Structure 1
Amino acid sequence: MLRAKISDHFVSVRAKVVSLLTLIGAVMLVLSGAYTLYDFRTSLELRAWSRAAGVGDAIAYAARNAETFADIEPVIQAVAGATALKGAAVADADGLIVLSSLPSWKGKPVEIEDDLEPGKTQAVAQQRRFGGYGRYPGDYALAVDFPRMNRIATVLIRVDTDLLASQTVADAWHLMTWLVIAVILAILSLSLLVHRVVVAPIEALKRYAETGGEGKAEAAGPDDEIGIIARALSDSFRAKSDGEARLVVLAATDGLTGLGNRGHFKAQLAADVGAGEKLNGHNAGARNVGVMILNLDNFKDVNDTLGHDAGDKLLQRTAEILRGCAREGDTVARIGGDEFGVIMPGIKNADDALQLASRLVRAVGAPLRLGAQEVQQAACVGLTLYPQDGRDADVLIKNADLALSRAKLEGAGACVLYRHELHLRAIERNTIERDLRAALAKDQLTLFYQPKIDITSGRVVGAEALIRWRHEERGYVPPSLFIPVAERSGLVVPLTKWVLNEACRQNREWQEQGLKKISVAVNVSAIDLRRTDLTDTIANTLIRNGLSPQYLELEVTESMVMQDVDVVIGTLRRLRGLGVGIGIDDFGTGYSSLAYLKRFPVKRLKIDRSFVHDVADRRDGHVIPKVIIDLAHALGMKVVAEGVETADQYERLEALGCDEVQGYFAGRPMPAAEFEVFLRNSPAGGLRGEAKAAGTAA
C-alpha cells in the first residue's frame, strides 16, 4: 500500500528525480553536520591536548633541577594561571597529591590504573583519575622524572575545555555554513545536470509521444540511450505519418486508372465551390465551376464480349484521354464503374462547358484496338454549373447525374446541360414510385380489357389486359407515366405478377359463369422476359387459378426480343411448350431481323397503329400492312391490327387478309364488369354488319 501511494504521488520522472535529489541533499546535510561535530570534537581535543602538553613540558623542564617537590611549586602556580587551564598538580609515587594549584586537591589520592610513559602527556578519564572530585573533561597526566630526587612523579593537568569549546564553536559554525553552501550548490548543479541530461529529454519524448509525433524529439546527446530512443521514436512516427499519408492518398485514388475516386472528386468540388464563394464581387466568369459526368455507353458489352481485361484497358485509355484533354486546373476522377467526373473551375459559361464536353466525347469515341477487335466507344455527358444550378457539392453532383440520365435517353454522344425541368421530373418519378409501391400494397390497381375481334366473323376471340391505376388524388394515372418508372425501379416484377394473377383469375371466373372461352393477352417487359423464373411464375399462376395455358397470351415488343436473342428464344420456347401463346406487339417499329423472326415461337404479330392509321389511304398506305400480313401468314402466324378506329380501316384490313382487329371501332378498354356485359351481348357477325352498313351509308 505504501509503495502504491508513493507511486501515485511520484508518477513523473521530474517528481522522482526531485525526490531523489532532495533525499541526497538531506543525507549530505546530515553527513555535513556529523562531520562538523566530529571536526569540533577533534579540534577541541587537539587544542586541549596541545595546552596540556605545553604545561607538562614546562613542569618537566623545571623538574630537572628540583631537589624537592617544593622547588617546582612556583611553576605549578604559574602555569595554573595560564589561559584555558583549570589547575595543575603533582602526585608522588604513592598516589597522593603533594602539590596543587587548587587547595581542594592536596592530599587527595590519585589512582593511576595504566602505566604512564615518561615524557608523554596522556588524556585520562576524570572519573577514573580523580575518583569524582572534578566535573570537567580535559584531564591529562604526565610521568615526570626528578633526577636529583631520583624519583618519578605524576603531573596532573586540567584544561578549561569550556573556554576552548567556545572558541572552537565559531570555527565549527563557519565550517558547517560552508559545507551547507557546498551541498546546496552541489545539489543545484546536479539538478541542472540531471534535468538537462535526463529529465528534459524524457519530458520532451513524453510530449512528442502524447502529441503523436508533432514537434521534434531531442536528447542531450545524439548517441546516448535517450538519443537512440528519440531517433527510434521519431522514425516510428515518421513512418506512421508517411503510412497514413499514403493511406489517405490511396483512399482518394482509383487503383485502376490512377485518377481520384468519388470521395476525392466530391472533396475537390467542395473546395472549388468554396474558392468560388470567396470570389464574390469579382468577375462572374471566374466564380463559375462546371461539373461534368461522362458515362461510357454499353460498357458492360465490352466486359461480356472481350473480357474484363479489355474493359480495364478501355477505362485506362479513357482516363488518359480525359487527363490529356482537360484544361490546366481541372480535376478528373473516376466516380463509378464506367463514369468519370471532371471539375472545371473558372469556366466562362454553359457554351464553353458544352464545347469542352463535346471535345471530350469525340476524343473518347476515337477507335481503339483491343486484341483482334477494333472498338469505337461512345459516351454521353451530363453537365451542371455553379452557382446557377446549385451551391453545394452534393447538389451539383446530383444535378449532373440528372442531366446524364437525360443524355442516356437521347443516345450516344449526347451532352445535356442540367435544366430545372429535369429536377422536377426526378421529383415526379420519385413521387410516382413511392405512390406506386403504396398502390401495390393497398390494391389500388385494376385491369381494363380491350376486345380482339375476328375480322371475318365479328366474334370476340380475345382481349388484352391493360393495367390502370386510379390514384387517390390524381385520378387515373396514364400507364405511359408509371410503367417506365416501374421498370427503372424494379417494381415491374411484382407488377407483372399481379397482372398475370388478376388476368388469369378473371378469365377463369368468366369461364365459370358460362361465357365464351377467350384468351387474354398480358404485356410483359424486357426485365420480365430476361428472368429465369418467368416460366415457373406463369405455370404456378395458371395452376393456382385453374386456367388452361391456351387461354393466356404474352405480348412482347419487337425491340424487346432482339435483346439477348438466345436467352429470349429459350424463354419463349419454354412458354410455348407450356401452351401459352406468344405475340409480338408494335411489329414494324423495331429493328428485328427476319432471320431471327422465323426462330421465334410466335403465334401472333400485331401491326402497330402507326401503319393502321394510313391503311385506308388509297395510294400506298396499305403497302406495309400487306407485307406484314403476307409475311406472318407465310410463317404460320395470325395478324392483329391495333388502333382500328373507322369502318374504312376495318374493311381495308379485311381486304388485305388481316385476321383480327383491336381498337375503339371494335371496343374501347373496359373494366371487368363492363367487358363481361360486352362479351355477353356481342352477337356473332354483329361488328361485320356494322362495318358494311357504315360503308353503304358512306
Structure 2
Amino acid sequence: MPAPYSTKRANQPAVVLVADDDPVMRLLMLEMLDGVGLAGIEAEDGVQAVRMAREHSPDLILMDIEMPNMDGFAACRAIRDAANGTTVPIVMVTGGDDLEAVTNAYEAGATDFVSKPINWPILGHRVLYVLRASDAIVRLRIADAQNRAVLAAIPDSFFRMSREGIYLDYEPGRDHPGRGGHGLRDTFPAADCVGKHIADVLPDEIAERMLEQVEMALEVQQVRSVEYELVRFGEPQHFEARLVATGPSEVLGLVRDISERKRAEEQIRRLAYCDSLTGIPNRQAFLEMLERELQRSKVGNRKFAVLFMDLDAFKRINDTLGHNVGDQLLQLVSERLRETIRPSDMLSRVDTGLRVDTGARKGSESSLEARQGTNLARLGGDEFTILIPDLDRVEYALNVAHRVKDAMRRPFLIEGNEIFVTASIGISLFPEDGDDCNSLLKFADTAMYHAKNCGKNNAKLYSSSLTMQIMSHVKLEVGLRKALQNDELYLLYQPQLDVRSNEIVGVEALIRWRHAERGVVSPTEFIPLAEETGLIVPIGEWVLRTACNQARIWQRPGRRPLRVAVNLSAKQFKDENLSQIVLSALHDTGLDPRLLELELTEGTLMDDAKATLATLEQLRGIGVYLSIDDFGTGYSSMNYLKRFDVRALKIDRSFISGLPQDSENAAITRAIIAMAHGLKMVVVAEGVETGEQLVMLEEYGCDLVQGFYLGRPAPADSVTGMLQATPKIWLPLSAK
C-alpha cells in the first residue's frame, strides 16, 4: 500500500472532506481513508460541504451527487467559485455507471468520479493517486510561475522594424546561443540583422505572418503577438513575439523563448488526460477522442469499432498478491497492449499550420492524441479500451481482439514470479450498434460481460439480444435481493435412508425460490447468481437457521435422532464469521450440534488448504457433522481426505445414474465405498432412482442413500407426516 500522503502539512496526513447525507456511507468512507493513512472530515449535505470546504481547505473532497438542500453538482460549482476551491480535487460518487451523471459531474468541475457499489480497496488507491496527481499539478504550476518570473527578470530580445519588415535595430537577449534571440537561422549572426528583411532572417511562413501582425499593430495601435515554433539543434523551440507601434510606420518587438512554459502547459494537460498509473490516456481523453472519431466517421461515412477489455480474475491477484503487484501488472498490461496494437491500428492525425492568437492563422502543434495514441486508454481498474478507426471489415476488429487476447495469455514477470492472466473483450461497431458515444461504450461493455459468461478468455461482438440478457440478469438479481425480505425463499427436504435398517436417519435441506412474476426459479439459475453477487452469504445463513429450526421440531423423545444436512458455498466457507454464524444458529434454535451436517465440495476444501484446516478445526470444535458433497467430480484425492478428517462423503449422482449397467461407474463406486470405509468414513449415494441401483449399493456396502426412488424433495409438513406414520420406508427389495 502506498505511504500516507500529505500535501500541505509536513508529517501530517492529507485531509479529505467526505460529503454524503448517508451516515453509513460517511462512516465507511472515513474508515477507508484511515486505512490508507488519510484524515477525514465529514459534511451531511451540500450546503455544509461548501462551508467546510471554505473553512478547512481540504486536500481532496469525496462528494455524493444526491444530497438534500444542495446536490453534489451545485456544491461542486459553489466550491469551484471560492478562492480556495479552484484547484482542490473533487471526486463525485454516482449511484451507478450513468454516463450522463458522469458528464454532468465533469461539467460542474469534478476531477474524477466513482460508482456505487464502491470497491473500497480500489477507492483508497484511487484517492491516493488523485492526491498525487493534484500535488504534481500544483508543483507544475508553481514551477511554471517560477519560470515566468525568471524569464521576466532576464532581458528579452528586442528589435525595431519598419512597416516593410526591415530590421532597424536588434538587441539579442542574454540567453545562451541554444535559446537566444528569436530563433534566427544559425548561419545568420544576430549583429547582421540590422538592415536585413525579416524574410532573410526567419522562415518565409513565419516572416509573412509576422508582417501581417506588424501591419495590424500599426493600424489598431494595440499590442499584437505571434507565437511560432522552430526546430533548433534538433529540438522544437517556441517563441512569442509581442509587437507595439512606436510611430506611424515603425514597431518595437519583444521576443521571448517560451519553450519551458509550453512544456509545463503540455505536462499539465497530460496529467489531466493521462492515467497516472500506466501513463496511457485516461477515461476523459478516450471519451473526447471517441466523440471526435464519431463526428469524423459520420461526415465521412466511415465505420469504426470500440473494444472493451477486462482482465479475468484481477481481483484475485489483488487479494492474494497485494495491490502493489496488481498495480505493476496493470502497468505491464498497458505496455504489452501498446506493443501488440500495430501502427495501422492507431490514430495519428496531426493538425498543421502555425497558431497565432487574436484571430491569426493557427500554428502547427502536434496533438496529444498523435503522440500518445489515444485509441488505447485505461478507463479505470483493470478496464481498457481500444478504438479501431476506418474499419473495412468486422473480421479485422475480431483479429485485433484475438491478437490482444493472445498477448495477455503470455506470462508477466513481476518480482521474479510469473503471473498468468487472461482477458475478456467486448466489441461494438459504429454505426451498426449505435450512433453515440455512450451507447457504443455501453454495448462494448455488455459484450465483454457476455464474453466472461461464455467462459472468459474470450472476445464477443455485441448484439441486441445481449442487452435483453443483461436486463434479464439485472432484473433477476434485483428480485433475488428482495427474495429474503419478501419471504419468497423456502426449503424442501429430501430423506436420507440407512440401507441396513431401512430407516430415515437424515434429510438434506434444498433451497427453492418462488418468484412473484416468474414462478419457481431453478436453483441452477439463481444459485450461481447468488454466488456472483455475494448474496449467497445472507441466503446461506437463512437456510442454516431455517433448517436447524425445522430439525429441532422433528426431534422427539424415544425416536432416533434425525440429522439435517445443509450445503455450504465456497463464499460461506471463507467467511471469517462462519463459526460464529453456526454457533448462533444452533444456540437460537436449540439444535444439538451433532444433528447438523455441513456439506462441502471438494473444490471448496482444496482452494486454500491452510485456511481450510483452520476452519474445519473450528467447526469440529463446535461438534457439527462434516461431509464432502459431489465426491468424484473434483480432486478425489486420498491425501486430502486424510488431512481434512471429515466424517462422510457423498458419491456424486453422475456415478450412480449409470448403475447397474455401466461397469466403469460400478467399479468407481465400489472403489470409493471401499476407500471411504478404509478411512472410517460414512458413504452416502446421491441420485438413487431405481430399485436395482439400491440393491447394488447395498451389496457394495453403501451406508446411506437418497434420491427420487426413496423420496423427492418435499415440504417440511410432508416429511413430518412421513416420520409420524413410520420411521421406516418399506421397499420391495429382494435383498431384504
Task: Give the TM-score normalised by the residue count of structure 2.
Answer: 0.59
Q: SS where residue 410 of structure 2 aligns? A: coil
Q: Report the equivalent of 1:587.
A: 631
1:208-287 equivalence runs, <5 A: 246-280=267-301, 286-287=302-303
Label 1:400 to 1:600 Cα distance change in 2 as closer, same or farther (>3 A): farther
**Deviation for aligned residue 1:378:** 3.1
Q: Deviations over 1:29-65 (max 9, x none)?
A: xxxxxxxxxxxxxxxxxxxxxxxxxxxxxxxxxxxxx
Q: Report the equivalent of 2:706.
A: 662
Q: SS where residue 546 of structure 2 aligns? A: helix
**Deviation for aligned residue 1:671:** 0.8
Q: Deviations over 1:370-402 (max 9, x none)?
A: 343344443332222222233333333333233
**Deviation for aligned residue 1:560:** 2.1
The answer (yes or no) to whether the contact 1:515–1:679 under 8 Å persists in 2 is no
Q: Report the equivalent of 1:406.
A: 450
**Deviation for aligned residue 1:525:** 1.5
**Deviation for aligned residue 1:256:** 2.4
Q: Deviations over 1:653-683 (max 9, x none)?
A: 1112211111101110111111111222244
**Deviation for aligned residue 1:336:** 3.1
Of 681, 690, 709 in structure 2, the residue corresponding to residue 646 of structure 1 is 690
**Deviation for aligned residue 1:200:** 8.5
Q: Report the equivalent of 1:422.
A: 466
Aligned-partner Cα distance in 2 for 1:513–1:270: 76
**Deviation for aligned residue 1:649:** 1.0
Aligned-partner Cα distance in 1 for 2:511–2:717: 15
Aligned-partner Cα distance in 1 for 2:515–2:328: 50
Q: Which amino acid aligns with 2:566?
A: V
**Deviation for aligned residue 1:516:** 4.5
The answer (yes or no) to whether the contact 1:384–1:418 under 8 Å persists in 2 is yes
Q: Which amino acid aligns with 1:314?
A: L
Q: Report the equivalent of 1:323.
A: 338
The answer (yes or no) to whether the contact 1:573–1:601 under 8 Å persists in 2 is no
Aligned-partner Cα distance in 2 for 1:414–1:669: 38
Q: Report the equivalent of 1:357.
A: 401
Q: SS where residue 732 of structure 2 aligns? A: helix
**Deviation for aligned residue 1:423:** 2.2
Aligned-partner Cα distance in 2 for 1:545–1:522: 15
**Deviation for aligned residue 1:305:** 6.1
Q: Deviations over 1:407-448 (max 9, x none)?
A: 334445322223333322211121112122222112222111
Aligned-partner Cα distance in 2 for 1:258–1:382: 23
Q: Report the equivalent of 2:310.
A: 295
Label 1:489 to 1:459 Cα distance change in 2 as closer, same or farther (>3 A): same
| Farther off after superposition, 392-401 or 337-346 | 392-401
Aligned-partner Cα distance in 2 for 1:612–1:527: 28
Aligned-partner Cα distance in 2 for 1:628–1:350: 52
How many residues were matched structurally? Answer: 472
Aligned-partner Cα distance in 2 for 1:528–1:217: 72
Q: SS where residue 305 of structure 2 aligns? A: strand
**Deviation for aligned residue 1:352:** 2.1
Q: Report the equivalent of 2:151.
A: none
**Deviation for aligned residue 1:316:** 2.7
**Deviation for aligned residue 1:499:** 1.0
Q: Deviations over 1:258-278 (max 9, x none)?
A: 111233233323332333222
Q: Report the equivalent of 2:498.
A: 454
1:106-145 equivalence runs, <5 A: none
Aligned-partner Cα distance in 2 for 1:310–1:406: 28
Aligned-partner Cα distance in 2 for 1:548–1:466: 20
The answer (yes or no) to whether the contact 2:492–2:511 under 8 Å persists in 1 is yes
Q: Which amino acid aligns with 1:320?
A: E
1:673 aligns with 2:694: no
**Deviation for aligned residue 1:495:** 0.8
Of 616, 634, 648 in structure 2, the residue corresponding to residue 604 of structure 1 is 648
Q: Which amino acid aligns with 2:308?
A: I
Q: Deviations over 1:329-349 (max 9, x none)?
A: 351112233332211122233
1:474-485 equivalence runs, <5 A: 474-485=518-529
Structure 1 gaps of 5+ residues are 1-195, 206-214, 281-285
Aligned-partner Cα distance in 1 for 2:575–2:246: 76
The answer (yes or no) to whether the contact 2:241–2:255 under 8 Å persists in 1 is no
1:7-156 equivalence runs, <5 A: none
Q: Which amino acid aligns with 1:383?
A: I
The answer (yes or no) to whether the contact 2:426–2:449 under 8 Å persists in 1 is yes
Question: RMSD of aligned C-alpha atoms?
Answer: 3.4
**Deviation for aligned residue 1:311:** 4.1
Aligned-partner Cα distance in 1 for 2:443–2:641: 42
Q: Deviations over 1:607-631 (max 9, x none)?
A: 1111110121153230221222122
Q: SS where residue 442 of structure 1 aligns? A: coil
Give identity over the alignment, percent.
Answer: 41
1:387-402 equivalence runs, <5 A: 387-402=431-446
Aligned-partner Cα distance in 2 for 1:535–1:231: 77
Structure 2 gaps of 5+ residues are 1-216, 226-239, 348-374
Aligned-partner Cα distance in 2 for 1:622–1:592: 16
**Deviation for aligned residue 1:459:** 0.8
Label 1:595 to 1:644 Cα distance change in 2 as closer, same or farther (>3 A): same
Label 1:412 to 1:425 Cα distance change in 2 as closer, same or farther (>3 A): closer
Label 1:357 to 1:541 Cα distance change in 2 as closer, same or farther (>3 A): same
The answer (yes or no) to whether the contact 1:612–1:641 under 8 Å persists in 2 is yes
Aligned-partner Cα distance in 1 for 2:513–2:316: 36
Q: Which amino acid aligns with 2:312?
A: D
The answer (yes or no) to whether the contact 1:463–1:521 under 8 Å persists in 2 is yes
1:690 aligns with 2:711: no
Q: SS where residue 335 of structure 1 aligns? A: strand
Q: Report the equivalent of 1:490.
A: 534
| Farther off after superposition, 665-674 or 323-332 | 323-332
Q: Deviations over 1:264-308 (max 9, x none)?
A: 23332333233322234xxxxx32x22222333344555566665
**Deviation for aligned residue 1:532:** 0.3
The answer (yes or no) to whether the contact 2:340–2:404 under 8 Å persists in 1 is yes
Task: Give the TM-score normalised by the residue count of structure 1.
Answer: 0.62
Q: Deviations over 1:303-326 (max 9, x none)?
A: 566665554443333222211222
The answer (yes or no) to whether the contact 1:615–1:653 under 8 Å persists in 2 is no
Q: SS where residue 485 of structure 2 aligns? A: helix
Aligned-partner Cα distance in 1 for 2:534–2:335: 36
Label 1:216 to 1:449 Cα distance change in 2 as closer, same or farther (>3 A): farther
The answer (yes or no) to whether the contact 1:364–1:378 under 8 Å persists in 2 is yes
Q: SS where residue 599 of structure 1 aligns? A: helix
**Deviation for aligned residue 1:514:** 7.6
Aligned-partner Cα distance in 2 for 1:490–1:310: 25
Label 1:323 to 1:608 Cα distance change in 2 as closer, same or farther (>3 A): same
Q: Which amino acid aligns with 2:723?
A: L
**Deviation for aligned residue 1:463:** 0.7
Label 1:621 to 1:311 Cα distance change in 2 as closer, same or farther (>3 A): same
The answer (yes or no) to whether the contact 1:452–1:461 under 8 Å persists in 2 is yes
Q: Which amino acid aligns with 2:337?
A: L
Aligned-partner Cα distance in 1 for 2:546–2:587: 13
Aligned-partner Cα distance in 2 for 1:512–1:456: 22
Q: Report the equivalent of 1:553.
A: 597
Q: SS where residue 636 of structure 1 aligns? A: coil
Aligned-partner Cα distance in 2 for 1:260–1:597: 52
Aligned-partner Cα distance in 1 for 2:456–2:512: 34
The answer (yes or no) to whether the contact 1:450–1:668 under 8 Å persists in 2 is yes
Q: Report the equivalent of 1:534.
A: 578
Label 1:646 to 1:438 Cα distance change in 2 as closer, same or farther (>3 A): same
